[in-house]
A and B are shown apart, each in its own frame.
Chain A
Amino acid sequence: MSASAPLLEVSELKVSFQTEDGTVKAVDGVSFSVGAGEVVAIVGESGSGKSVTSMTLMGLTRGPNASFQGTATFEGRDLIAASEAELRRIRGGDIAMIFQDPMSSLDPVYRVGAQIVEQIRAHDDEISKAAALDRAVELMERVGVPHARARLRSYPHEFSGGMRQRVMIAMALSCSPKLLIADEPTTALDVTIQAQILEELRQLRSETGAGIILVTHDLGVVADIADRVVVMYAGRVVEQGTLDELFYNPQHPYTWGLLGSITRVDSDRSKRLPAIPGAPPSLLNAPKGCHFRPRCPHAFEKCTEVPPLEARVSSTPGHLDRCWLEPERKRKLRVVDGRIGLAPEEKVVA
């Protein structure tokens, strides 16, 4: 990370939605930052608030039932307080987004060329249609769509999933964004296509120096591309740090569980894949204190208070987590069967 102010600084972001059943605290005090040229992965299971966080940065969760607190400072502007008109200029311009499902994220009734041109022209009143089209060809070539000029005249349904995601990336890149938010960009794709798309993102980062927020639940993808990792659970950040800190010295039991549930080629196939017991809490009625407490085999009395997000290991000040356990104890508890994992209930040592 550079010494200057980061590209994006999210601080104590809270998002809640008013529903018929009550208030859902989808995001409950999330803080992290993204520097230029940095890839920050936000990981967590479905419903952890990772998508809501990323969409809130784009103002896409705004609505009559949503309320927001905290700040998200992007180049000196607060995205949370920004007016709709201000946000519109930033959206698709300085901050662009790629979505999870390329099959449904492009409008089926327009040619892909028209959809890319539409975005270019939304942010540049001067540019002619022909010039915008040329730019679209350039972008499509850059993200590896063959016969780019001819393909601009195709409709989304005439592309494969991987090609559509490339079109989405081309569209996102059209206004040279400084920050790219990729919400599960590879989840709906085949593994081989996944690798290609990740390669595109990596190249983009190195060529343009854009910061990337990668929202995913796939730790393999994270290990592949991320510089830093933010682990979210039930609307809160439970741990964040560099890739190495998180993978080799994880501090929060939830992170242990995540790491422990990765399939490995060398694992004993007769054994069941370790999983974290239980299900994430409903955000309508979240448990008091640590949100992971009901599923945590190591929970104790103090866990009914909310643990602060802070550095527990003095040698790594950027490595933050929310867990009351002593770092010394964590080092013992997180080893299950010789590797990192979350101990099953019966093995808990008092």
Chain B
Amino acid sequence: MGRFVVRRLFSMIGVMIAISIVTFLLFAAIPGGNPANRLAGRLANPEEIHLIEVKYGFNKPIYVQYVRTMKNIFTGQAYSYSQGFNVLTEIKAGIPATFSLALGAGIIWLLTSIVVGTLAAIKAGKYTDRILTVLSMTGVSMPPFFLGAVLIYFVGYKLGWLPIGNFVPISQSPWEWFKHLLMPWFTLSVLFIGFYSRILRSTILDTINEDYVRTARAKGLSERQVLLRHILRNSLIPIISLWGLDLAQVIGGGAILTETVYNLHGIGQLAATAISSLDIITLMAIVLLTAFFVVFLSAVTDILYAFLDPRIRLS
């Protein structure tokens, strides 16, 4: 276990360095991506741009620029190329919204998809299953910006049941926090529920034919015990590991569309603004954050996996 953690830690660092290099090179290769243009503003003349290039070192070799960018990000000295704000301060400001969205939606989509997937599997081939299949496929193919807009229009505007967009910190008012997040949670979850419940359904249908399930029945257990203790317990393993990775993405600002459509001012929305203005340094910081969560939670998932499935040994 100890050795596993140390090894995972080292590979984590390696993966993040690799990701940062690839991201940096990608942005450097984008035409018109020269950060001096952003910094100088729209009406700058070539001399001013050149001055900025020299001042910030954008005319230096790319590896020098890379090291400098990374140093700035990790020392908190990174300032947005297009808006001038401190990148770390801005990311920190986005964390409450993004975490609230990710954790709430993560719990909702995990629990709902377990219920939906199990129901579809035990009713396989019947009407319940067919209806759930159609609903799942609808969920999978429902883009968040569309569902978000529809919900905002009907639930928020026409019916006035829930506030339209924006984020309220839980410290300020838990009830308002909850009300403001209901629609974003739902919008983000729908996508994952459709996907997860399909996977769980097919995993359960495979597990049902396992010999140990027949043994469980032969032992005289009730159908409920067989389902919960043996079928579901074994079928949840792939879902849980998937959940860790998807959650990591959303925590790292991956829910760009949902955050933007509800104007939550989270990390995802920050990323959306940064992309549209080719704000490379902000994007670099966000990509690194996302990469960190993905790598970190995948290590956590691996540990969890070993607990869920005793055949797996951490090594």
Which positions in A face B, CB cutoff 8 Å?
A: 58, 60, 84, 88-93, 96-97, 99, 101, 104-109, 118-119, 122-123, 155, 157, 168, 171, 175
Contacts and interface: CB of A to CB of B under 8 A. Distances in A.
B77 interface: no
B211 A91 contact: no
B219 A155 contact: no
B310 interface: yes
A92 B217 CA distance: 8
B311 A108 contact: yes
Nearest to A84: B223
Q: Which of B211, B220, B223 has the most CB of A within 10 A?
A: B220
Interface string B202-237: 000000001110111111111101000110011000
B220 A104 contact: no
A109 B233 contact: yes
Nearest to B220: A92
12 contacts: A91-B217, A92-B219, A92-B220, A99-B211, A99-B214, A104-B210, A108-B212, A109-B308, A109-B309, A118-B219, A168-B215, A175-B220
Nearest to B216: A107
A122 B221 contact: yes
Nearest to B309: A109
A76 B243 CA distance: 52
Interface in B184-214: 210-212, 214
A168 B220 CA distance: 14
Given A90-B220, A108-B234, A109-B233, A99 B215 contact: yes
Contacts of A123: 220
Contacts of B233: 107, 109
Residue of A107, A118, A168, A175 most packed against chain B (CB within 10 A): A107
Contacts of B212: 104-108
Nearest to B233: A109
A272 B240 CA distance: 55
Nearest to A94: B220
B310 A155 contact: yes
Nearest to B223: A84
Given A60-B214, A109-B309, 16 more contacts: A58-B217, A60-B218, A90-B220, A92-B218, A101-B211, A104-B210, A104-B211, A105-B215, A107-B230, A109-B234, A118-B229, A119-B220, A119-B221, A122-B219, A122-B225, A168-B215
Contacts of B214: 60, 99, 105
A269 to B, nearest CB: 37
B218 A58 contact: yes
A117 B225 CA distance: 14
A90 B14 CA distance: 59
Interface string B48-90: 0000000000000000000000000000000000000000000
A122 B219 CA distance: 8
B216 to A, nearest CB: 7
Nearest to B214: A60
B249 to A, nearest CB: 28
B225 A108 contact: no
A215 to B, nearest CB: 14
B190 to A, nearest CB: 31
Contacts of B230: 107
A97 B218 contact: yes
A92 B216 CA distance: 9
Nearest to B213: A107
Given A60-B218, A91-B218, A107-B234, A157 B211 contact: no
Contacts of B222: 88
Interface string B150-193: 00000000000000000000000000000000000000000000
Contact of A106 (B215, B221, B229): B215
Interface string B233-256: 110000000000000000000000
Contacts of B310: 108-109, 155, 157
Contacts of A119: 219-221
Contacts of B229: 118
Contacts of B215: 99, 105-107, 168, 171
A126 to B, nearest CB: 16
Contacts of B218: 58, 60, 91-92, 96-97, 99
A171 B218 CA distance: 11
